[in-house]
Amino acid sequence: MNPFSYIKEVNKSAADLYSLRSDYAKFSQAMHMMMQGIWNSDYIPLEQKWIPNRLKQMCAGKDGFSLKDYAYQLGAGCGISATEFPLHAPDCQGNSWSKLNIGPFEEVKWTESPDGMAQSVKAGSLFYGADDVGICQLDRRWVYSHWYDLETKAEYPIKFSDEKGYEEIKSPTKLEDGTKVLPKEMKYVIVLIHVMDYEEFRAGPTLPEVAVTKLAYSKISLTAISLAEFIRSLGYNAIPSSNCTALNIPLAIDAGLGQMGRNAKLIHPKFGPRVRLSKVITDLPITADKPVVFGVDTFCKSCKKCAIHCPAKAIPESEPSYEPKGDYNNKGVLQWYCNHDKCRSFWTANGTNCGLCITTCPYNKGDEWIHVLPKWTAAKFPSLVPFIVWMDDLFGYGKVKNYS
């Protein structure tokens, strides 16, 4: 290990690092805030006002809401529509759980050592467009208990083939009653990172920032589909997924791609929270990475910039706790819980998403030495964190308009 590195591998899983309580129960996708906007009468009005409010901002001629900005974000989302990759629905069109191309070698399996497989899969992930990649063993606690069907507006269980009644299942399958079953051998996850452009993201919460988010999802669509098809063509099962099937952040932590911040986002050691996540779940035997720590917990305890600058006051300034803010939070994890009622209300009023909790974060920088030095210092000398945060403010990073 590089003695000058501020990133340390640890023999602890995400469940250990965030002190998972014994009463933790798997989360249902139906309770995710985006899904509740579809079925919960408290949130449906918010969803319905979102786009009309965007048009109001455009008609009012607000900065970042011109017709050109609107067109810019529509263009950025074309990768999602062109690949027909649903972000929230599993096994549907572009993110199909089945092989897309039928080839002449259907019965043949590629064999290689797990280390060699990891190297090939990581190289493939970067080739298909990911900015970083990590591998973990699938901790089933992070798999949704149920998936939410956008067509029937109902939830259905997700099971594994070593659960009673599903032993015959050999490939990812949807049963007639809506249950989705994964073979028990699907115990590896390749977690993909896509970075969002620094300057464009700082334009938020406006339409250019929406464009950066959509562009990341467009890239995710192509990368996840390509990687899954690569693996399936080697003779293994692979499920490409953006926000469906399992929770991304704990899987990314298990895959050594970062720690969780006060803003309830993954903090990547190089890109900070300015990333979008996706994954491919597979039975390809592959060597997993180890989780890493680099002082984020201590940094967040003194920093609070995301909480202070959040226009909705949705991020707590207090200590991490087990107290969820609503049924949209995944209970039983020691963390800073985001108040999605407040966050989502701001998005609706503004007609955009937001991302100020990403923009203002001191980890949201490039990898030039001038930005690496504070991260290194914070990890090695935690008592200097308040000084680093003060310097960050002094240099004008994370400055935001007043949205209150």
Position 363 contacts ligand SF4 (CB under 6 A): yes
Q: Please select the residue that binds ligand SF4; options are 355, 375, 379, 388, rule is CB under 6 A.
A: 355
Told to check if 325 binds ligand SF4 by CB under 6 A, we report no
Q: By C-alpha distance, which of 296, 240, 201 is closest to 8?
A: 296
Among 210, 224, 314, 379, binds ligand SF4 (CB under 6 A): 314
Q: Count how many Cα atoms sit within 13 Å of the Cα of residue 360 in the half-sphere of its side chain.
A: 24
Spatial distance between the Cα atoms of 134 and 252, rounded to a whole number of angstroms: 7
Q: List the one residue from 357, 374, 375, 388 that touches ligand SF4 (CB under 6 A).
A: 357
Query: What is the rounded distance in angstroms from the CA atom of residue 377 to the CA atom of residue 250?
Result: 26
For residue 3, give the amino acid letter: P
Query: Smallest distance, Å, CB 175 to ligand SF4?
Result: 37
* 397 interacts with ligand SF4 by CB under 6 A: no
Q: Tell me, rounded to whole angstroms, the distance of Cα 36 from its chain centroid.
A: 18
3-state DSSP assignment of residue 404: coil
Q: For the CB of residue 347, give the shortest distance to ligand SF4 in the complex, in Å.
A: 7
| Whether the Cβ atoms of residue 64 and residue 208 lie closer than 8 Å to each other | yes
Tell me the two tokens of residue 258: 């970062």
Nearer to ligand SF4 by Cβ, of 18 and 166: the residue is 18
Interaction with ligand SF4 in 178-207: which residues (CB under 6 A)?
none
* Of 142-150, 238-246, 325-333, 359-367: span binding ligand SF4 (CB under 6 A): 359-367
Sign of the dihedral defined by the CA atoms of residues 324, 328, 333, 339, in that order: negative
For 220, the token pair is 């995710």
SS3 189: strand
Least distance CB 320 / ligand SF4 (angstroms)? 11
Within positions 230 to 289, which residues make up the interface with ligand SF4, using CB under 6 A?
261-263
Nearer to ligand SF4, 281 or 303 (CB): 303
Where on the chain is the footprint of ligand SF4 (CB under 6 A)?
Answer: 261-263, 299-300, 303-306, 310-312, 314-315, 338, 343, 346, 354-357, 360-363
